[in-house]
Amino acid sequence: MGSREQKSEVRSQKSNTLSPPFSKRGKEGFIATRDAYGEALLELGEKRADVVVLDADLSGSTKTGKFAKAFPERFYNLGVSEQDLIGTASGLSLAGKLPFASTFAVFETGRAWEQIRQTVCYSKLNVKLVATHSGITVGEDGASHQAVEDVALMRVLPNMTVIVPSDGNETRQVINAIVDYSGPVYVRLGRAKVPAVMPDDYKFKIGKAYTFHMGRDANIVAMGIMVSTSLEAARILKDEGLDIGVINMSTVKPLDTKTLLKVSKACKLIVTAEEHSIIGGLGSAISEFLSENYPTKIRRIGLIDDFGCSGSPEELLKLYGLTPDNIVKTIKEALT
Amino acid sequence: MKSTVTIRDINFLKEKARVLRMEILKMLTEAGSGHTGGSLSAADIVTVLYFCKMRHKPEEPKWRERDRFILSKGHAAPLLYAALSLSGYFEKPLLKTLRKLGSPLQGHPCSKKLPGVEISTGSLGQGLSVANGIAIGLKLDGLNSRVYCLLGDGEIQEGQVWEAAMTASHYRLDNVCAIIDNNGLQIDGYCSDVMSIEPIVDKWRAFGWHVIDINGHDMKAILDAFDEAETVKGKPTMVVARTVKGKGVSFFEGKVQYHGITPTPEELKKALKELEENGK
């Protein structure tokens, strides 16, 4: 149950603006990762003539529309056809271009999964798949539009790199970093506005996790919007005398196993937090690694073998337990 | 010039196709598995492309200005391998390693393992989208290279093919020339029984393509079709090549069971003898 202040603050926000209780930075720091992508892409288009952008009739929502407006000759709308989107992007990559292919996460990774497997990953093409509208914070559109399996679908593919930025700053850095890396990359972005969580001097590097603090009692390893939720959970528990660390594992594949081992050795419990199914995503990746290399007590926060549903992002996060309160409860139960 | 063979001699092409078929049969028999019928049916089309029409450099597979060939019906890999080998991309003995552990000649083409293969295929329906993407890239770079894409007739049952059909037409990709190897058969039987694909010509025309309907074993007709395609502006071209599955070996022709079955050593002997006699 959220506090009274939390609820009133929730009401004060627009439905697509997340308002975690730690939003003391004010609304100014709030930006949707898809908006940061749109801006980063625009800058990239000015810097690099080889960047081409493809979308499947969702350029207004994925924010590739900004690039389309500025560089119409390098933007290709494929219409409502995700499989062709992936294939066309692959061809552009073969012709020496640097394609960014965007649509909603559920359609990009689900509808076109086999195209990504056969054409992009098997041939190790330099195609950047940047999908928006991941997770339940899509909100009112409901389960059909809420990808909670995409990380699992992409993580299983050989040659694929999977990145889930936590805020606008990190998203901008991710987009620039993947340009300098040759190979398939999947970047998972969201619809809702999220607070800035990463420090101003943060430098993103593919495969490198960021440790906010290493806890002696437990460490929460999170991705995407759950990083801010985890930070709040750690703050609440600090008040109760527990030393809880938070790690932003923005690169889900390849996993930063070095950091993972270090924080696991420092504490009694690892909690994973993701706006995704606990099957196949970050929680799975971490469980797989630790069970073989440093068996550690683990609890996974995420969707428990379930679809999302319609509702406001805040209501849904609460319904599925993606809240600071649920993380707090989980940690307390596991530590006793 | 070695790199861009443009010998427009029908007899030369017929001879090449005959040798190509013999190599296909030999490597399939050696491999013991693979797709015989669909490799033979498209042999004349691929011969015209590799030994006459396409500008390519076997010694420089990634030559920027080359024409591209996408084998969307990836199961005809033996045909592609034979064409690449006879063009000079790799030595002939390598053909004997088809489908064997460690061979770059995978059961279906893999671009990471074999130079000359533009893109890995095998899962049907994906090649035309890739061809379109390459074609857009070539246009962006102001190159006049052409992109050829060979599809199976059963393959066009895949929905993605029609997504790509719309894209090529919408973006006026006149540097795309696709070919349907219309042998009328697919694994489970006649296309007309499994899932009707006719009227093919009308369908592609309705999707905004310039369509050329030919006998896919008539070298002159194939050559003329590719020449005609080059003159078409503002729209892609589809060559509907009416072919015979297993073409070139009388006892394989038109037989559905030779889709995914290889010749026995005895059948190979008989087949090679027949092809040798045809060459005399």
For A278-295, how does the pLDDT look when each residue is reduced to its tens digit (9 = 90+)?
999 999 999 999 999 999
pLDDT at residue A276, rounded to an integer: 98
Assess contact for A217 and A269: CB atoms under 8 A: yes
Task: Report chain A's terminal Cα–Cα distance, integer Å.
Answer: 21
Query: Which range (A26-40, A140-154, A271-285, B23-37) has the least confidence?
Result: A26-40
- The CATH number given to A31-194 is 3.40.50.970
**C-alpha distances in angstroms, A283 versus A135, A190, A212, A290?**
15, 19, 19, 11
pLDDT at residue B96, rounded to an integer: 97
**Residue B274 distance to chain A (closest CA, Å):** 38
pLDDT tens digits for range A192-242 = 999 999 999 999 999 999 999 999 999 999 999 999 999 999 999 999 999
* Phi-psi map region of B184: left, alpha, beta (phi>0 left; psi -120 to 50 alpha): left
pLDDT over 80 at A105, yes or no: yes
**Residue B266 distance to chain A (closest CA, Å):** 36
Backbone φ and ψ for B3, nearest 5 degrees, come out as: -70, -35
pLDDT over 50 at A91, yes or no: yes
pLDDT over 90 at A297, yes or no: yes
pLDDT at residue A14, rounded to an integer: 42
pLDDT at residue A24, rounded to an integer: 40
Contact with chain B for residue A206, Cβ under 8 A: no
- Classify strands A161-163 and A128-131 as parallel, antiparallel or unpaired: unpaired
Fold of A4-16+199-335: Rossmann fold (3.40.50)
Percent of chain B whose pLDDT exceeds 70:
98
Element (H, E) at A161: strand A161-163
Q: Return the domain boundaries, chain B.
A: 10-279
Instruction: Name the pTM for this structure.
Output: 0.94
pLDDT at residue B279, rounded to an integer: 84
Confidence of residue A308 (pLDDT cuts 50, 70, 90): very high
Distance CA B148, CA B72 (A): 10
- Furthest-apart CA pair in chain A: how many Å? 61
- B contacts of A84 (beta carbons < 8 Å): 129, 132, 160, 163-164, 166-167
pLDDT tens digits for range B110-152 = 999 999 999 999 999 999 999 999 999 999 999 999 999 999 9
pLDDT at residue B141, rounded to an integer: 98
pLDDT (mean) for A151-155: 98
pLDDT at residue B6, rounded to an integer: 63
Backbone φ and ψ for A100, nearest 5 degrees, come out as: -110, 120
Element (H, E) at A261: helix A257-266
pLDDT at residue A18, rounded to an integer: 54
Chain A residue with CA closest to B142: the answer is A95
Confidence of residue A17 (pLDDT cuts 50, 70, 90): low
pLDDT over 90 at B68, yes or no: yes
pLDDT (mean) for A109-126: 98
Task: Single out the residue of A249, A312, B104 nearest to residue A320, CA to CA.
Answer: A312
Q: Which of helix, strand or coil describes residue A212?
A: strand
pLDDT tens digits for range B11-37 = 999 999 999 999 999 999 999 999 999
Contact with chain B for residue A45, Cβ under 8 A: no
pLDDT over 80 at B4, yes or no: no
CB-nearest to A94 from B112, B122, B130 is B130
Other CB atoms within 10 A of residue A10 CB? 21
Residue whose token pair is 């026995």 = B264
Query: Which range (A249-258, B1-10, B89-98) has the least confidence?
Result: B1-10
Distance CA A308, CA A229 (A): 19
pLDDT at residue A48, rounded to an integer: 97
- B contacts of A95 (beta carbons < 8 Å): 133-134, 136-138, 140-141
Contact with chain B for residue A91, Cβ under 8 A: yes
Q: Return the domain boundaries, chain A.
A: 4-16+199-335, 31-194
Task: Name the amino acid, one letter, at A204.
Answer: F
pLDDT over 90 at A112, yes or no: yes
pLDDT at residue A6, rounded to an integer: 42
pLDDT tens digits for range B216-266 = 999 999 999 999 999 999 999 999 999 999 999 999 999 888 888 999 999
CA torsion through residues B266, B271, B277, B280, sign = negative
Confidence of residue A22 (pLDDT cuts 50, 70, 90): very low
Interface residue of A48, A54, A82, A84 to substitute, partner B, most B CBs within 10 Å: A84
**Residue B272 distance to chain A (closest CA, Å):** 35
pLDDT (mean) for A179-196: 97
- A contacts of B134 (beta carbons < 8 Å): 91-92, 94-95
pLDDT (mean) for B186-209: 97
The CATH classification of domain B10-279, taken from the options 3.20.20.70, 1.10.357.10, 3.40.50.970, 3.30.9.80: 3.40.50.970
pLDDT at residue B255, rounded to an integer: 87
pLDDT at residue A28, rounded to an integer: 61
Task: Please provide the average confidence, as pLDDT, over all residues in chain A.
Answer: 93
**Is ipTM beyond 0.85?**
yes
